[in-house]
Structure 1
Amino acid sequence: MKLIKVGFTIVILVLTTLWGVGAVYFGDSDTGVVQLWISAMFGLLGLAALICLGLPRWRKRLLLGHSMAFIIILAWWLGISPSNQRNWQMDAGKLAYASFVGDTVTVHNIRNFDYRSEFDFQPAYYSKTFDLNKFQGIDLFSVYWMGPAIAHTILSFDFGGNDHLAVSIEARKEQGEGYSTIKGFFRQYELIYFVADERDVIRLRTNYRKDPPEQVYRYRLQGSMENGRRLFLEYMRKINELNEQPAFYNTLLDNCTTAIWLRTLSNQGHLPFSWKILLSGYLPEYLYQSQRLDTRMPFQELQRQARINSQAQAADQSPDFSMRIRESNQ
């Protein structure tokens, strides 16, 4: 029993020390000298508490000191507030929003950039009205660039013909800011729902991202139209909410895939949480196993047919891009 207690204390000490060091080091913005020193001192305090676990004379004092310092850091960190008023990168400069009249939803600031390369583009936005009575389903796009375990997930809502509205949930970055998985744990990025034309958000990944190249797969989700419409409306409510109350992106808890699962909680019969949602590259397999994809063929064959890079590269700037990437690649 004593060994279990010591082991538990060691785990808690290591986790709180690592988290506290990261929270202070990254802070509310750029890392400064003061933050660097405070994070280093907290790390040393945690190390000292760990070393002195076997010294009864010092153990209680150091554990108490570490706990008090951690509580102060946590209270300060929880006081960091998200904002919509920052010097955003050009691609994240505008937030989408929606207005509702009866069975129609008008979506504003739909992104539709004209790309010459990944970072060379002409910004463009438009508004469009969608009739909920014409809703036909949802496609899931899985984007891979670093092996099978991790993928970026995008949902696209189908209103018939070439009317598809894609939503990509991402970290909203400031000018000169890159993405870091570690920083994403520490309130460094605001959350953004990129509401975009598929010629923008899908074509960017299939045609223009080269370092590394990205492989894009499209899967048609199986489910009731009512649940699909409800999920679409939940998305629209969320993008309106983010206009009024910005929120932080979180690498683990509120990212491109976990946020989708959270939105689906509005539907009865939603999928239970799974580790395959955290390791998002396996999400299509989880959906297949849960009868939410076409199961008339083995998953490996469905996945092979789902890859759309060649269709997207052939369609490129075509106005019927959405229809052409849905052409069979058999």
Structure 2
Amino acid sequence: MTRRYLVFAAMLLGSLLLSVLAAWGAGALWFQLPAADLARKLVVGAWIAGSVVVLVYFWRGGYRPLRVWLVLWIAMVAWWSTIQPSHQRIWADDVSRMVTGKVEGSVVTLDQVRNFDWRSDTDYSARWEPRQYNLDQLRSVDVALSYWMGPAIAHTLVSFGFSDGRYLTFSIEIRKERGESFDALAGFFKRYETVLIAADERDILRVRTNARGEDMWLYRLRMPPATMRSLFMAYLDEGVQLKREPRFYNTLTGNCTTIVYQMARRVTSGLPLDWRLLASGYLDRYLYDIGALAGHGDFDTLRQKAHITAKARAADQAEGFSARIRD
């Protein structure tokens, strides 16, 4: 009796593994196979049907179809390894350039700071500007969470404030090709490269609240000056690495939140791993629990104060956008 249960458990585990590998193969073919729509659908359909047949034979004790299927799966993995990220594509305007900078003493010169004037998500005046910032004047770090598809998923942006009233925001984003839009499932299958954008808040925060209809919260972080400076430099290092070697975005392991976490760990060791780093919509609660949010009151109080959507929409194109969303 015990042996029978063990055999059943092994068969169940093998079936689960086969199903997972088959699902991955279907996704890889769907999102990466260089073929017309109809041909891609036929190939994916054949793969799924073949996987079901293999699974049926597996339960009946027929392992020859499984061996053929494994050879095909290994061939697919070999093909998958040939798909490499690139900087040479026709990019959407808002991610067409990557920021890098040079440091002389405390002065940082950035070559490509985005400062678009957004009238709608598709109507804008494109501007990329060189800018200088003095790290001795760095006074604050804020984290913005922008929601567009429910409470569990948010885009994470980090904004650095200077004593002259300017704010510079860094954002890890997918590098969309022209006409392309984000698909969270496609993000698991090498569909997008990663880009680091540095931008004026009146561009990068306002486009999300005012042009794209997203809902945004802005929190001040409790961070000593030396750590602020180190985090700023970590972003510059990330920009250099991305420009030197393109990298694929991954919805789970290489997204706007996990990459920021990895940079923050290089600056401040001991940051705990947490499921809310993956469910980025709850990142604010994670920051509160580790004592990283500045301000007084419980979490609900801080969250209420941090909600800036209405302020951003009211400020719109005002020159004092950053000050008004913090009033």
Report the AA paired with residue 159 of structure 1.
F
Q: What is the deviation of 1:39?
A: 2.9
Q: What is the deviation of 1:26?
A: 1.4
- After superposing the two structures, state which structure 1 stretch, 28-37 or 109-118, moved more: 28-37
Note if 1:228 corresponds to 2:228. yes
Partner of 2:23: 18
The superposition leaves residues 1-40 of structure 1 with CA deviations (integer Å, 9 ceiling, x where unpaired) of 2232112111111110011011012116665555444333
Matches within 5 A, 1:44-59: 44-56=49-61, 58=62
Q: What is the deviation of 1:282?
A: 0.6
The alpha-carbon distance between structure 1 residues 29 and 135, as it changes in their structure 2 partners (threshold 3 A), is farther
Matches within 5 A, 1:35-74: 35-56=40-61, 58=62, 60-74=63-77
Report the AA paired with residue 154 of structure 2.
A
Match of 1:182 among 185, 188, 191: 185
The alpha-carbon distance between structure 1 residues 30 and 41, as it changes in their structure 2 partners (threshold 3 A), is closer
Partner of 2:203: 200
Note if 1:8 corresponds to 2:8. no
The superposition leaves residues 91-110 of structure 1 with CA deviations (integer Å, 9 ceiling, x where unpaired) of 22212111122222211111
Note if 1:168 corresponds to 2:175. no
Matches within 5 A, 1:243-258: 243-258=243-258
Which structure 2 segments of 5+ residues have no match?
1-5
Secondary structure of the residue that 1:95 maps to in structure 2?
A: coil
- After superposing the two structures, state which structure 1 stretch, 21-30 or 33-42, moved more: 33-42
Secondary structure of the residue that 1:184 maps to in structure 2?
A: helix
Q: Distance in 2 between matches of 1:194 and 1:247?
A: 14
Q: Distance in 1 between matches of 2:22 and 2:297?
A: 49
Partner of 1:139: 142
Note if 1:219 corresponds to 2:222. no
Secondary structure of the residue that 2:103 maps to in structure 1?
A: strand
Report the AA paired with residue 245 of structure 1.
E
Any conservation in 2 of the 1:42–1:69 contact (CA below 8 Å)? no
Partner of 1:277: 277
Any conservation in 2 of the 1:28–1:80 contact (CA below 8 Å)? no
The alpha-carbon distance between structure 1 residues 136 and 239, as it changes in their structure 2 partners (threshold 3 A), is same
Report the AA paired with residue 86 of structure 2.
S
Partner of 2:265: 265
Secondary structure of the residue that 2:165 maps to in structure 1?
A: coil
The alpha-carbon distance between structure 1 residues 120 and 20, as it changes in their structure 2 partners (threshold 3 A), is same
Aligned pair count reads 322
The superposition leaves residues 177-233 of structure 1 with CA deviations (integer Å, 9 ceiling, x where unpaired) of 121111111111111112110000001122222xxx311110011122222221211
Any conservation in 1 of the 2:172–2:255 contact (CA below 8 Å)? yes
Q: Distance in 2 between matches of 1:28 and 1:219?
A: 42
Q: Distance in 2 between matches of 1:263 and 1:270?
A: 12
Q: Distance in 2 between matches of 1:139 and 1:268?
A: 16
TM-score (norm 1): 0.92
Note if 1:154 corresponds to 2:148. no
Any conservation in 1 of the 2:11–2:59 contact (CA below 8 Å)? no
Partner of 1:286: 286
TM-score (norm 2): 0.93
Report the AA paired with residue 214 of structure 1.
E
Any conservation in 2 of the 1:155–1:168 contact (CA below 8 Å)? yes
- After superposing the two structures, state which structure 1 stretch, 93-102 or 264-273, moved more: 264-273
Secondary structure of the residue that 2:119 maps to in structure 1?
A: strand
Q: Distance in 2 between matches of 1:180 and 1:31?
A: 19
Report the AA paired with residue 325 of structure 2.
I
**Cα root mean square deviation, aligned:** 1.7
Q: Distance in 2 between matches of 1:118 and 1:11?
A: 43
Note if 1:106 corresponds to 2:95. no
Partner of 1:88: 91
